[in-house]
Each structure stands twice: as structure tokens, then as C-alpha cells.
Structure 1
């Protein structure tokens, strides 16, 4: 089983909205992938991050059965649409994948 965690700090000067608005949009777009990308076993997005170092505006926690399933998710066209939005609003991204 693969755990995939991504943390973002969002731009304060994005033309797509405030960091809070963009975090909410990211949450909506990412959670909408559940049921559309079959490799996703679990997925949740947190935008009410009250403590992190360094600062984090949004966090994704997801679970996949295998590395191959994670790769299929990462390259899925619906996921890539979300990636384009995220790239436009994110200032920084941190990611960790691990197997249990």
C-alpha cells in the first residue's frame, strides 16, 4: 500500500483568488477525482491547517494499492487538469510517498 502526501503553500498574489479561495478550489477539484480515477483508494484534502512548519495552506493525503497505481493516478488526464490549476496557484510544494 502506498501513502501519498502533498503539502502546498499558496501564492498570495494569484490572479485566481486568495490563498483561502484557491485552497477551497483545490479541495473541491481533488476530491472530485474520487470515483473517476479507479486507482484512488482513499483521498482527503485539508485546508484548515492550523499548525505546520513551514507554513502549509493545503494538504492532500491519498492511498493507492501499488506504485503502479500511484503512477496511473499521477498521469491520468483528469488529475493532470487539476495539476494545471494547482501549478497556477501554488508557491511551494512538498511531497512524500511511502510504502507500508
Structure 2
């Protein structure tokens, strides 16, 4: 199994939205991927609740059966569409992929 974890720092005031409002928009878009991409075994999205200098604002924690399934997910048109849509909200991101 493969774990794919992505964390984002969200920009302040995008399209008049607060950081928390933007985080909820991003969360909804990411969660929609579960319905559209069959390679996803599990997908959870969380919004940070403890603010400090090293905190990220939102996390995607997902699971795939194989590295091939992860690669298929990353190239899937719905994943690319969501990635493009959330880009305006993103200040920075960090990614970890590991086998377990």
C-alpha cells in the first residue's frame, strides 16, 4: 500500500474569502476526488485547528494499492482539474509518499 500525504498553506483573502473559508473550499474540491477516481482506496482531508508558525492549513491523507495507482491518480483528468482550481488558494505545499 502507498500513503500519499499533501499539506498546504493557504493564502489570506482569496476572492474575498478568509483563510478558513478558502480552506473549506479546497477541502470540498479535494474530497470530490473520492467519487471520481477509482484508484483511491481512502481519502481524508483535514483543516488545521492549532495555529503556529510551522502549521500547515490543510492536509490530504490518501491511500492507494500500488505506486501505479498513485501515478494513475496523479495523471487523472479530475485530479489535474482540481489541482488547477485550488492553485489560486495555495501559498506553499509539502508532499510525502511512502510504502507501508
Question: 2:91 is matched with which residue?
Answer: 91
Shift of 1:91: 0.3
Unaligned runs of 5+ in 2: none
Greater share of helix: 2
The alpha-carbon distance between structure 1 residues 23 and 76, as it changes in their structure 2 partners (threshold 3 A), is: same
Shift of 1:86: 1.9
Residues 4, 61 of structure 1: 8 Å contact kept: yes
- Scaled by the length of structure 1, what TM-score is found? 0.90
Structure 1 stretch 25-34 or stretch 1-10: which is displaced more?
A: 25-34
Residues 1:30 and 2:30 aligned together: yes
Q: Structure 1 residues 76, 11: CA separation in 2 closer, same or farther (over 3 Å shift)?
A: same
Change (3 A) 1:71 1:52: farther
Does residue 19 (structure 1) correspond to residue 19 (structure 2)? The answer is yes
Q: Distance in 2 between matches of 1:69 and 1:48?
A: 28
Per-residue deviation at 1:53?
Answer: 5.8
Dislocated runs of 4+, deviation >6 Å: none
The TM-score normalised by the length of structure 2 is 0.90
Match of 1:76 in 2: 76
Higher mean C-alpha deviation, range 36-45 or range 18-27: 18-27
**Matches of 1:99 and 1:28, distance apart in 2:** 27
Structure 1 unaligned segments of length 5 or more: list them: none
